[in-house]
Chain A
Amino acid sequence: MTAPLDVSGDELKATPESVAEGAGAKAIQGRSLGQIAWMRLKRDKVALTGAGVIIFLILVAVFAPLIVSWFGHPPNQFNQDQIDTMTMIPKGGSGISWDYLFGVEPVNGRDLFSRVVYGARISLLIAFLATLLSVFIGTVMGVIAGYFGGWVDMIISRLMDIFLAFPVLVFAMALVGVLGQFETQLEVKGDSLRILLLIFVIGFFNWGYIARIIRGQTLSLREREFVDAARSLGARGPYILFREILPNLIAPVLIYATLLIPTNVLFEAALSFLGVGIQPPTATWGGMLAAATKYYTVPHFMFFPGMAIFITVLAFNLFGDGLRDALDPKSGR
């Protein structure tokens, strides 16, 4: 690597890796850290697999009606003809066939494939929006605490502690239970209200983690000399916050958002499992698992929603880890 890159050409010995890589191309256009991270990510097969699965899941969720119309039956349709009327379990044990790819539920014979596919909608929708909410609150709170310090930091940090120590599950159960009463009283029906409520509960009580991380990052960024450089040029607070500090927070926000999504998928599943999530007959993975516990003689009932949760969580975690390695190689293995 001795191609003269620089007209002054005097410090080639110390040329960093990335310049050396681009030497042949003689491209003057610089490569941002984001582009370099993308190149690293492209080489990470595991993370790419995770990303592929995530994209697949999103497509499934978005096109659920279409997929179900091609390969399944309406998710809430009873298919009594698939059920052995003596035992109430699916004919042949699971009912898996070309017509019913994942088999059918015991008793009422609903198509498991369609229900798993529709379950992806609820699961991903709630997980994504709840993550968005926590990331938004967490980033704003973290930046404010880290940047302003002093008593502002003190108050926000204590607030974080409170939220981190909060028994969210118990609270969620109580809140959703209370709302359940109102639902019947006000005759408000439908899932949208429940979905909004779940997004709020999961999102609002999870911002503490992100806030804590972002606060730490902001604190250390604030002490960096480039911030001093901007201040010595006469830059004001907003400039420093938005131009100097925020661009450096994009990577950690992305990483922790990706790693928070699977947690929220699990959280939603847990709430539905406990019966305080989305109510039947709407298909959710957690709800199906809960129903399946009563029929341990037909393991496929539990297997498919369980696998759906497992694969989703795994895919996001693998992708998130890969993203972290790519964006922040120092913290990696």
Chain B
Amino acid sequence: MSESILSVQGLEKHFPVTKGLFKSQVGAVKAVDGISFDVRKGETLGLVGESGCGKTTTGRLITRLIEPTGGKITFEGHDITHMKQGKLRPLRRDMQMIFQDPYSSLNPRHTVGAIVGAPFRIQGIQTEQGIKKAVQDILELVGLNPEHYNRYPHEFSGGQRQRIGIARTLALKPKLIIADEPVSALDVSIQAQVVNLLEDLQNELDLTYVVIAHDLSVVRHISDRVAVMYLGKIVEVGERAGLYSAPMHPYTNALLSAVPIPDPKQREGRERIRLTGDVPSPLNPPPACRFHTRCWKAQEICKTQEPPLAELAPGHAVACHFPENAPSKTETPATVA
């Protein structure tokens, strides 16, 4: 359980911003700016942050759809950071990605059978009773009618399309699945079904997940650990219980307060924190603590010194000068004065 399947260290992706005929670089979008985390075998890591904070980019870096500009990615003991695509091919069977948009992730010109069967064809894998049988088994597994084999994606609803996408990732029996906002494009009524499906599949097939979401409620149910991202950096990471009950980073607090609480008793005594201002541009992120432009606890130090991601409680790390709910080693400096 504790053995790590994926390890990310100081991962960076700076998209160059070019200008003019000669493409001179005038800046860089720091979409992912030095993040580190481990994913242990069999667990689900939730990766949460507002739109544009670099979640998809992180997923695409890990699956090596784009080339990292810095850092290191280790998957099952292999350093895949800059591995050649040819060498990467066999490893790809073990690591798959579910895409954010079920409408653009399925080729409209291919049948469901062709889409879900593509992994076998691309990887040149022989199946015992033919690809068709294998595909139909997988369709059944994800709750689709196997007889819909010859149908086209446009004949399905969003939720069904996402199931087709999930079926495709399962074809090669991967070990790790990166699910990029698997439900945010879906109706609320269908979201739970797809999340439950992911959970069932995890138990059945021994999967490890990195589930990306833009709010904390979606991953609460499914995650063992949660990492919170803000503008290309991880600001807090911890076990689910600790992170939800005692969030340390002000940003996590703000995100949590936006999550509706079903239990009215618990709802009392918690004030709703409203984040003011827009997310700053990753092209020109604020110096030091990137959250200081929107943080209600910000002090001078936050604008000059970057808070390191430090483990304040066992398995619970936060990058903030004035964390909340911190186990009182020393009282937080904010209240000392």
Contact of A16 among B89, B118, B155 (CB under 8 A): B155
The answer to whether B155 and A230 touch across the interface, beta carbons within 8 angstroms, is: no
Residues 226-260 of B, flagged 1 when their CB comes within 8 A of A and 0 if not, give: 00000000000000000000000000000000000
Q: Take A14-B158, A33-B108 as given contacts and tell me if A225 and B193 are in contact as well, using a CB distance cutoff of 8 Å.
A: no
Q: Take A6-B145, A234-B89, A234-B123 as given contacts and tell me if A229 and B168 are in contact as well, using a CB distance cutoff of 8 Å.
A: yes
Q: Take A14-B187, A28-B147, A226-B106 as given contacts and tell me if A19 and B156 are in contact as well, using a CB distance cutoff of 8 Å.
A: yes
The answer to whether B150 and A28 touch across the interface, beta carbons within 8 angstroms, is: yes
The answer to whether B111 and A30 touch across the interface, beta carbons within 8 angstroms, is: yes
Residue of B nearest to A22 (CB): B155
Contact of B144 among A8, A36, A228 (CB under 8 A): A8
The answer to whether B156 and A16 touch across the interface, beta carbons within 8 angstroms, is: yes
Q: Take A226-B104, A230-B122 as given contacts and tell me if A7 and B92 are in contact as well, using a CB distance cutoff of 8 Å.
A: no
* B residues near A234, Cβ cutoff 8 Å: 85, 88-90, 92-93, 122-123
The answer to whether B63 and A30 touch across the interface, beta carbons within 8 angstroms, is: no
Residue of B nearest to A7 (CB): B145
Q: Is B107 an interface residue (CB 8 A)?
A: yes
The answer to whether A248 and B109 touch across the interface, beta carbons within 8 angstroms, is: yes
Cα of A233 to Cα of B94 in the assembled complex, Å: 10
The answer to whether A28 and B157 touch across the interface, beta carbons within 8 angstroms, is: no
* B residues near A44, Cβ cutoff 8 Å: none
The answer to whether B65 and A224 touch across the interface, beta carbons within 8 angstroms, is: no
Q: Take A16-B156, A247-B107 as given contacts and tell me if A233 and B119 are in contact as well, using a CB distance cutoff of 8 Å.
A: yes
Q: Take A10-B193, A33-B108, A233-B122 as given contacts and tell me if A228 and B88 are in contact as well, using a CB distance cutoff of 8 Å.
A: no
Cα of A224 to Cα of B153 in the assembled complex, Å: 15
* B residues near A5, Cβ cutoff 8 Å: 145
Cα of A50 to Cα of B58 in the assembled complex, Å: 52
Cα of A234 to Cα of B112 in the assembled complex, Å: 19
* B residues near A192, Cβ cutoff 8 Å: none
For window 66-114 of B, CB contacts with A under 8 Å fall at: 85, 88-90, 92-93, 96-97, 99-101, 104-112
Cα of A233 to Cα of B145 in the assembled complex, Å: 24
Cα of A18 to Cα of B101 in the assembled complex, Å: 21
For the complex of A and B, the 7 pairs showing the least CB-CB separation, nearest first, are A30-B151, A14-B157, A247-B109, A225-B105, A234-B89, A8-B143, A225-B99
Known: A32-B109, A232-B96, A234-B88. 16 other contacts (CB 8 A): A10-B159, A11-B193, A13-B157, A13-B189, A14-B158, A14-B190, A18-B155, A22-B155, A29-B151, A226-B107, A229-B105, A230-B118, A234-B85, A234-B123, A239-B122, A248-B108
Interface residues of A (CB under 8 A from B): 5-8, 10-11, 13-16, 18-19, 22, 28-33, 36, 224-226, 228-236, 239, 244, 247-248
- Can you name 17 A-B residue pairings with CB atoms under 8 Å? A8-B144, A11-B160, A16-B154, A16-B157, A22-B155, A29-B151, A30-B148, A30-B150, A30-B151, A32-B109, A225-B99, A233-B119, A234-B93, A235-B122, A236-B85, A244-B107, A248-B109
Interface residues of B (CB under 8 A from A): 60, 63, 65, 85, 88-90, 92-93, 96-97, 99-101, 104-112, 118-119, 122-123, 143-145, 147-152, 154-160, 165, 168, 172, 187, 189-190, 193
